[in-house]
């Protein structure tokens, strides 16, 4: 648990629903038959209506509100920097209670609004084209710190109406979600909870660099859309740009994706960042088709977003379209993801904070 105690009180967001019920029983001493109702009331008021002050929860008896004020707080970490891109994308830099920093990004579109959240501070993967990869792993986020990002964004956007402004949530920010599996799972449970943030499984996407031994489990336990950062059609190329491929080969990923698609009955999204002269040839497109033939999927071609000091160049738009057409002609869905928020380093793979791993001693 993160240290966020104020006068020994617990932080609401550090409790999942079962833990909240235990809190009502053990810390508040509420009689058993009222626990579920009171926990649900508090849960709904905070997650659905954005309650910030327990005194405003007038459906609770005054004595209970007083007790809650003593034993629980609904504090969230602070935003320390907010940047708005010319295209409307907003990036928030958040200072966690332990002073580490994490970023999340809101990407508004005509018909939807996507919030991109982080699962770790820093990352262990070191993908050569990714800015986060230049920051060492600082820590796994607690599930509360994953949910905090959503709550902070909702508050900033005043998103408490029936018609949500944040319609979709993607775990595509900093970090590898499957290397922080348990916290991601709990956070997704809270996102999905009908009395909580109430996002359908089809409104949430978890993106992985391909931690093969977690994919089948995630299909059963997390069950959201899955995006796989494939980025190359052969092990040879993939290994050059993604060191994780030394551990999990494309063949393993294909097997796991078959299982995932079978369990969730949904297509997998293959993410493919286009790097000039590295993975964008016609041969690569044809090899990619061979992979796509093996399980239900579509490909999302991603414009490479440069960052200071990187050694790759983006594939030209015309070439991306050619690549996309080859895939479409073979009968598969291929889309090109427009880059958003580049001017504020808020686009895919551009997130990086100054947090450093604390030296032990």
From 14, 67, 101, 103, the catalytic residue? 103
CA-based nearest residue to 88, from 311, 342, 355, 270: 342
Is 260 one of the binding residues for ligand SAH (CB under 6 A)?
A: no
Q: Which residue's CB comes closest to ligand SAH?
A: 349
User: Strand, coil or helix: what is 274?
Assistant: strand
- Please say which residue, 248 or 304, places its beta carbon nearer to ligand SAH: 304
Task: Report, in Å, the least distance between residue 287 CB and ligand SAH.
Answer: 19
Is there a catalytic annotation at residue 297? no
Is 348 one of the binding residues for ligand SAH (CB under 6 A)?
A: yes
Is there a catalytic annotation at residue 348? yes
- Please say which residue, 127 or 190, places its beta carbon nearer to ligand SAH: 127
Q: Supply φ then ψ for residue 314, to 5 degrees.
A: -75, 150
Chain centroid to Cα 83, Å, comes to 19
Contact 299, 292 (CB under 8 A): yes
Q: Using the rule CB under 6 A, which residue among 2, 76, 349, 353 binds ligand SAH?
A: 349
79 exposure class (CB count in 10 Å sphere: 0-12, 13-18, 19+): middle
Name the one range near ligand SAH by CB under 6 A: 134-142, 159-167, 280-288, 300-308: 300-308
Rounded to an integer, what distance in angstroms lies between the CA atom of residue 243 and that of residue 265? 30
Is 130 one of the binding residues for ligand SAH (CB under 6 A)?
A: yes
* Residue 61 vs residues 48, 54, 58, 113, 294: alpha-carbon distances, Å: 20, 11, 7, 37, 59
User: What are the percentages of helix, strand and coil residues in the chain, rounded to 5?
Assistant: 40, 20, 40
Q: Using the rule CB under 6 A, which residue among 273, 278, 301, 345 binds ligand SAH?
A: 273
- Please say which residue, 196 or 314, places its beta carbon nearer to ligand SAH: 314
Is 208 one of the binding residues for ligand SAH (CB under 6 A)?
A: yes
- The residue written with tokens 């033939």 in the block is 293
Q: How many residues bind ligand SAH (CB under 6 A)?
A: 16
Name the one range near ligand SAH by CB under 6 A: 77-85, 99-107, 122-130, 156-164: 122-130
Structure tokens of 275? 């790097």
CA torsion, ordered 160, 165, 168, 173, to nearest 10 deg? -90
Is 302 one of the binding residues for ligand SAH (CB under 6 A)?
A: yes
- Please say which residue, 23 or 178, places its beta carbon nearer to ligand SAH: 178
78 half-sphere exposure, CB direction, 13 A CA radius: 5
Name the one range near ligand SAH by CB under 6 A: 22-30, 98-106, 197-205, 207-215: 207-215
- The residue written with tokens 């902070």 in the block is 152
Q: Supply φ then ψ for residue 270, to 5 degrees.
A: -95, 125
- Please say which residue, 60 or 242, places its beta carbon nearer to ligand SAH: 242
- Please say which residue, 54 or 299, places its beta carbon nearer to ligand SAH: 299
Q: Using the rule CB under 6 A, which residue among 14, 67, 103, 271 binds ligand SAH?
A: 271
Is 280 one of the binding residues for ligand SAH (CB under 6 A)?
A: no
Rounded to an integer, what distance in angstroms lies between the CA atom of residue 30 and that of residue 348? 47
Structure tokens of 110? 């005509």
Q: Tell me, residue by residue from 215 to 254, as one string, x for binding to ligand SAH by CB under 6 A and - for no binding.
A: --------------x-------------------------
Contact 17, 43 (CB under 8 A): yes
Task: Report, in Å, the least distance between residue 305 CB and ligand SAH.
Answer: 4
Contact 79, 102 (CB under 8 A): no
Q: Using the rule CB under 6 A, which residue among 92, 181, 304, 332 binds ligand SAH?
A: 304
Residues annotated as catalytic are 103, 348
Residues that bind ligand SAH (CB under 6 A): 127, 129-130, 172, 176, 207-209, 229, 271, 273, 302, 304-305, 348-349
């Amino acid at each position: 648990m993160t240290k966020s105690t104020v006068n020994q009180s617990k932080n609401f967001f550090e409790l999942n629903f079962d833990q909240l019920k235990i809190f009502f029983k053990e810390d508040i001493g509420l009689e058993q038959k009222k626990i579920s109702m009171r926990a649900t009331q508090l849960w709904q008021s905070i997650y659905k209506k954005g309650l910030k002050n327990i005194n405003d929860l007038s459906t609770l008896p005054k004595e209970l509100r007083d007790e809650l004020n003593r034993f629980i707080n609904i504090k969230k970490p602070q935003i320390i920097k907010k940047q708005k891109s010319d295209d409307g994308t907003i990036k928030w830099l958040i200072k966690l209670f332990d002073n580490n920093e994490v970023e999340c990004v809101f990407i508004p579109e005509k018909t939807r609004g996507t919030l991109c959240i982080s699962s770790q501070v820093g990352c262990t993967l070191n993908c050569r084209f990714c800015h986060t990869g230049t920051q060492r792993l600082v820590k796994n986020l607690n599930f509360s710190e994953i949910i905090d990002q959503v709550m902070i964004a909702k508050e900033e956007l005043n998103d408490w109406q029936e018609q949500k402004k944040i319609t979709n949530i993607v775990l595509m920010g900093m970090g590898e979600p499957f290397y922080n599996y348990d916290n991601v799972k709990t956070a997704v449970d809270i996102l999905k909870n009908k009395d909580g943030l109430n996002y359908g499984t089809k409104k949430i996407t978890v993106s992985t660099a391909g931690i093969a031994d977690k994919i089948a489990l995630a299909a059963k336990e997390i069950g959201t859309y899955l995006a796989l950062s494939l980025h190359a059609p052969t092990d040879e190329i993939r290994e050059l740009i993604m060191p994780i491929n030394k551990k999990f080969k494309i063949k393993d990923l294909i097997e796991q994706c078959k299982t995932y698609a079978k369990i969730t009955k949904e297509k997998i999204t293959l993410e493919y960042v286009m790097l000039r002269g590295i993975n964008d040839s016609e041969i690569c497109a044809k090899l990619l088709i061979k992979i796509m033939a093996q399980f239900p999927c579509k490909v999302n071609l991603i414009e490479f977003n440069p960052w200071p000091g990187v050694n790759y160049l983006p594939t030209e738009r015309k070439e991306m379209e050619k690549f996309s057409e080859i895939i479409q002609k073979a009968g598969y869905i291929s889309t090109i993801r427009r880059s958003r928020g580049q001017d504020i380093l808020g686009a895919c793979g551009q997130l990086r904070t100054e947090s450093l791993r604390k030296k032990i001693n």
